[in-house]
Amino acid sequence: MNAIYSIVRRDLLLAMRRLSEVLALLFFFVIVTSLFPLGIGPEPAMLRKIAPGILWVAALLATMLGLQRMFAVDHADGTLEQMALSPTPLVLLVTGKIAAHWLTCGLSLVLLAPVLGIQFDLDRSALGVLMLALLLGTPLLSLIGSIGAALTLGVRGGGVLLSLLVLPLFIPTLIFGAGAVQAQIEGGSPSGHLSLLAALLVLAGFFAPWATTAALRIALE
Amino acid sequence: MNNRVINWFKFASPASFYPVAGKLVPLFWILAAVFGLAGLWISLFVAPTDAVQGDGYRIIFVHVAASWMSMFIYVVMAAWAAVGLIFNARLSAMMAQALAPTGLIMAFLSLWTGAFWGKPMWGTWWIWDARLTSELILLFLYVGFIALQASIDDPRRADKAGAIVALVGVVNVPIIYFSVIWWNTLHQGASVSLSKSPKMATTMLWGMLLMALCFWMYSIAVALQRARAIMLEREAHTDWAKQLAQVGA
């Protein structure tokens, strides 16, 4: 537990020292979502209808852009190898890194989303569900994405490859996440979708760090 | 008993599997041709014209077989990848690598023939039906696997990384499938129902089964042939491969 905490603390500290990277990611999220009304038109009814999907797809893309940096810097300066050699199980350290990635990238998306939701004329209850769905969904994206990030470590054309590998696996998260908000807007209950998101989160929380660890060991061979 | 186990493991070495695969390939080609000719004959000449869909329904004979193969090959590929990862066996990983392009082609063929079938029957090339969507995602998974393997230069690392992708994919396939079904039932009202199939004439069923067998045999033949090429390419530095070049086999 101590090891996870110290990794999270270290990664957060590093992220704070290079704040521009995190901010660039958040502005990417803002810009992408702002492009859609410009392309589609400003009718509030239409915007309300497309809002959940667009906000979620933008969150997916923003998370994916952040994934490339999850292990790359540590791999480049050799820190990752030291982590693999340390007496602490690598899977704990990996869990810490995933948690730190979510805290820098996912959590800020969650906090930013309601502001963007207002642009799309969502009401308060829908904004609440959007935040809750993102709160459950973004850690899931970080977990699944970490597998792809570890696999594409130091590989030619890693960025594009990462999106090829990870985006199809993000589809269930997208469906249930956007579905929850959609259900709330249409007057249904979002609890089914949120439960499924939570179930996927538990599943991925257990398995993904192991898969990521295996992938990292392959990359470090 | 012990003897037999050893015999099986003997073929896990490329040097001993290469000639065996060479003998098996023509056999499976012949079987594919026989099943294919019989299947085509039944499906084009014997099977009756469908009362509702006319002759257009005959796409089913290619479409269904391709869809089955695309899904089945992914599972087989993941199984080979798992064996390769667990036993650290070179040949298993080569088999997984050899199967991937065939699976990709099958998934593509399934979508393509589906579009050709959909246009005259439903009046549209594409609908966001659960089955179509999950087949499309399967195509993406194949592309991811092939792209990752192609971009890693070290073959051993490519094998292992590909194996992890295939295994993660195979765990995700059911999740993706059910999520797409739920998404579909939420978003679509009464549209075309693909799941209610009308009763099929026996000859049609035979045609479909024969075509499916033909696709099976074709896939095995092509995968083995591709595995042979991969073996030669990767083992080019070894003695047995060099001897092969001298003999000219």
Residue B77 falls within a domain, yes or no?
yes
Confirm or reject contact between B249 and chain A (CB < 8 A): no
Average pLDDT of the segment spanning A171-184: 90
User: pTM of this prediction?
Assistant: 0.85
Q: Which of A156, A175, A200 to mutate to test the interface with B (most CBs of B within 10 A)?
A: A175
Domain count, chain B: 1
Residue B238 lies in a domain: no
Say how many domains are in chain A. 1
Q: What is the mean pLDDT of chain B?
A: 83
pLDDT digits (tens, 9 = 90+) for A194-216: 999 999 999 999 999 999 999 99
Specify the higher pLDDT residue, A38 or B249.
Answer: A38
- B161 and A218: CB-CB below 8 Å? yes
Q: Do B151 and A161 touch (CB under 8 A)?
A: yes
Distance between B183 CA and the closest CA of chain A, angstroms: 6
Q: Does B179 touch chain A (CB under 8 A)?
A: yes
Tell me the shortest Cα–Cα distance from B148 to chain A, in angstroms: 7
Residue A164 to chain B, least CA–CA distance (Å): 5
Q: What is the pLDDT of residue B5?
A: 54
Domain with A26 in it = 2-220
Arithmetic mean of pLDDT, A6-26: 89
pLDDT (tens digit per residue) in A142-159: 999 999 999 998 887 778
Residue B189 pLDDT level (bands cut at 50, 70, 90): very low
For A164, the closest of B144, B153, B176 (CB atoms) is: B144
pLDDT tens figures, A131-144: 999 999 999 999 99
> pLDDT for B115-167, tens place per residue?
888 888 777 888 777 778 888 999 999 999 999 988 888 888 888 999 999 99
What confidence tens digit (pLDDT) does each residue in B8-64 have?
667 778 888 888 888 889 999 999 999 999 988 888 888 777 766 777 778 888 888
Scan residues 125-144 of B and list those with Cβ closer than 8 Å to A: 137, 140-141, 143-144
Complex confidence, ipTM: 0.84
With cut-offs at 50, 70 and 90, classify the pLDDT of residue B175.
Answer: confident
Of A164, A183, A221, Cβ closest to residue B147: A164
Please state the three-class secondary structure of chain B as a single string: CHHHHHHHHHCCCHHHHHHHHHHHHHHHHHHHHHHHHHHHHHHHHHCCCECCCEHHHHHHHHHHHHHHHHHHHHHHHHHHHHHHHHHCCHHHHHHHHHHHHHHHHHHHHHHHHHHHHHHHHHCCCCCCCHHHHHHHHHHHHHHHHHHHHHHCCCHHHHHHHHHHHHHHHHHHHHHHHHHHHHHHHHHCCCCCCCCCCCCCCHHHHHHHHHHHHHHHHHHHHHHHHHHHHHHHHHCCCCHHHHHHHHHCC
Which chain A residue is nearest to residue B144, measuring alpha carbons?
Answer: A165
Q: Which of A141, A169, A186 to mutate to test the interface with B (most CBs of B within 10 A)?
A: A169
B7 in a structural domain = no
Domain membership flag for residue B6: no
In-domain check, residue B4: no
